[in-house]
């Protein structure tokens, strides 16, 4: 299961206390702040439920516990490791994710469902020196600050209004003390888009802006820009969603709710594309029903803890029951009945 570099502050008796060394070698608290423990639990329970009822259906059920979803490279890693040499290629791939929705609810729609994602590591090169003599240096922090500010204009000034695009700087690191101007600065950028043309435009603009700001700031060499991971948008198959929506509507009734645009991303669709098969994904809610209803009444839904928050803690029930129901119903909608 993927853990995030987040220190859990839910106050739960089973809250994560794990600390691991990150990529930078620094000890970092980690937690399942995106619901992956819920996902694994629901899939395990679903496999047990369907196995116990195997005399009522026929077909091949494959349960894949994909790792490294947070880095969006787990699906490709499994494929590179010969996944379909070890198991049959699926005729259909289904997936689900817990979200900050009312617990007990499910949402799905056909077509574009989740965004494509691209992440960049950037290093800006300056010339370090004494903090009291900045005129003898080329300050990468000043250049980096200009880059971060200028990147904000991509969405507001270069993307057509109505098209979804997100450009975020999630990390900026440079230097270690107050009286030393460092030699370099590191940025970590995250991009989310639906439209492939917008995706290309945004990624191209990132390169252009970073290179231009480095030149304007007198950087001693060109910046190093590395795309660290990339995955396509999740586009749900229309016919598959029609079947699932009919099944879910019959079972969940008014707990099947409208799906809204989400700028999150998933790489599981690569598993389907590699098999040449259709796929669909849905969301299920994890926010306590009373907490959700109170937030709706007060107009504070956006203030509720969401995925990746140190306070995100899906309630155990009816969250898990709903996740199991949805997975089992989804599978049985396509497996043959005996």
Give the integer Cα–Cα distance in Å for 273 and 279.
Answer: 8
From the candidates 69, 118, 213, 288, which is the catalytic residue? 69
Give the integer Cα–Cα distance in Å for 280 and 109.
Answer: 9
**2 classed as catalytic:** yes
**37 classed as catalytic:** no
From the candidates 2, 8, 139, 266, which is the catalytic residue? 2
Give the integer Cα–Cα distance in Å for 329 and 281.
Answer: 13
Q: Which residues are tagged catalytic?
A: 2, 69
């Amino acid at each position: 299961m993927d853990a995030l570099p987040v220190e859990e502050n839910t106050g739960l008796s089973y809250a994560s206390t794990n600390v691991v060394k990150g990529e930078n070698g620094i000890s970092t608290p980690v937690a399942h702040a995106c619901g992956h423990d819920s996902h694994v639990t629901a899939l395990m329970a679903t496999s047990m439920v369907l196995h116990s009822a195997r005399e009522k259906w026929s077909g091949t059920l494959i349960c894949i516990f994909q790792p490294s979803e947070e880095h969006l490279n787990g699906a490709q890693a499994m494929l590179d490791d010969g996944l379909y040499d070890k198991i049959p290629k699926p005729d259909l791939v289904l997936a689900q994710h817990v979200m900050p929705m009312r617990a007990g609810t499910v949402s799905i729609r056909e077509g574009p469902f989740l965004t494509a994602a691209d992440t960049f590591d950037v290093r800006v090169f300056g010339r370090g020196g004494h903090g009291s003599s900045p005129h003898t240096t080329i300050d990468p922090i000043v250049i980096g600050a200009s880059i971060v500010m200028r990147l904000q204009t991509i969405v507001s000034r270069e993307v057509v209004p109505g098209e979804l695009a997100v450009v975020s700087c999630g990390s900026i690191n440079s230097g270690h003390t107050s009286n030393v101007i460092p030699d370099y600065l590191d940025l970590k950028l995250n991009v989310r888009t639906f439209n492939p043309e917008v995706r290309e435009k945004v990624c191209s603009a990132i390169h252009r802006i970073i290179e231009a700001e480095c030149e304007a700031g007198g950087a001693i060499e060109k910046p190093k820009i590395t795309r660290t991971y990339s995955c396509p948008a999740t586009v749900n198959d229309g016919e598959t969603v029609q079947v699932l929506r009919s099944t879910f509507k019959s079972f969940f009734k008014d707990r099947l709710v409208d799906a809204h645009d989400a700028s999150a991303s998933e790489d599981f669709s690569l598993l389907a594309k590699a098999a040449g098969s259709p796929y669909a994904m849905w969301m299920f809610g994890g926010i306590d029903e009373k907490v959700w209803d109170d937030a709706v009444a007060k107009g504070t839904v956006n203030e509720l803890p969401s995925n990746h928050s140190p306070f995100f803690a899906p309630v155990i029930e009816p969250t898990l029951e709903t996740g199991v129901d949805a997975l089992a119903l989804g599978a049985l909608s396509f497996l043959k009945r005996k």
